[in-house]
């Protein structure tokens, strides 16, 4: 794909899932489909589901109403697909299909990613809180490569670190699995030198022993040199 690219590009969902799978990073079960095949795809995946638009013109799907949650029947899937098609047409974006994904309701939300700093190179990014992390700016950066000790320290630097321990009676999260994810993302930087930007948000940190699961992600690559 990069061999024919004139500049940077965002990986489509299927290619992203392949890269993450090779890196040992778990994504919630999902399948790209067409509006005509959406119900058959939903029946194959099982309910409840989330529907998301797949468009090269839309980077942040939630900003344009491109994500619909809580689909638990074929009729709900049909309605969601019709709504997403209409919303995509309204903003003049190209629609390459729909992504249907198993909905994961439990867990603590986190953000894990990579950004390239002009002076320092790749930086690993971590924050707790999902979409709130962008409002609270409760994130920490660390130069790669990152060890498990570095990753554990990154988590303690966040104000929202208390969420992993079960804040005010809420269920705790699998801290060790989140540490392992940070180390895997750091290793991904070394394995994919073409990586320019990477973001997993939200990541669901499940109960201790149950691991972590990414619900959405994006990766931008650029040819070397």
**pLDDT tens digits for range 101-146:** 999 988 999 999 999 998 899 999 998 766 666 666 788 999 999 9
**12 burial class (0-12, 13-18, 19+ CB within 10 angstroms)?**
middle
Tens-digit pLDDT profile for residues 172-221: 999 999 999 999 999 999 999 999 999 999 999 999 999 999 999 999 99
Average pLDDT, the chain: 91
CA 3 centroid distance within chain: 25
Sign of CA dihedral 74, 77, 79, 81: negative
Q: Where are the alpha helices (DSSP H) in the chain?
A: 13-22, 38-45, 74-90, 132-136, 148-156, 175-191
Angstrom distance (rounded) from CA 73 to CA 200 = 28
**Residue 23 predicted with pLDDT over 80:** yes
Over residues 61-78, the pLDDT tens digits come to 888 999 999 999 999 999
What global pTM score does this model have? 0.89
């Amino acid at each position: 794909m990069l061999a024919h690219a004139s500049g940077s590009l965002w990986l489509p969902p299927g290619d992203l899932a392949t890269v993450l799978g090779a890196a040992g990073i778990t994504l919630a079960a999902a399948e790209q489909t067409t509006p005509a095949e959406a119900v058959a795809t939903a029946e194959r995946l099982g309910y409840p589901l989330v529907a998301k638009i797949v468009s090269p013109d839309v980077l942040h799907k939630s900003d344009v109403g491109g994500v619909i949650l809580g689909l638990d029947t074929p009729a709900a899937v049909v309605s969601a697909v019709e709504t997403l098609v209409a919303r995509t047409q309204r903003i003049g974006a190209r629609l390459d299909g729909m992504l249907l994904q198993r909905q994961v309701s439990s867990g603590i939300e986190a953000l894990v990613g990579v950004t390239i700093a002009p002076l320092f190179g790749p930086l690993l990014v971590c924050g707790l809180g999902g979409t709130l992390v962008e409002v609270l700016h409760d994130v920490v950066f660390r130069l790669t490569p990152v060890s498990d000790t570095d990753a554990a320290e990154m988590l303690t630097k966040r104000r929202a670190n208390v969420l992993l321990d079960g804040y005010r009676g809420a269920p705790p999260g699998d801290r060790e699995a989140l540490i392992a994810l940070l180390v895997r993302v750091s290793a991904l930087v070394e394995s994919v030198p073409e990586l320019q930007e990477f973001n997993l948000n939200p990541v669901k940190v499940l109960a201790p022993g149950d691991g972590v699961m990414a619900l959405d992600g994006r990766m931008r690559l650029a040819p070397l040199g």
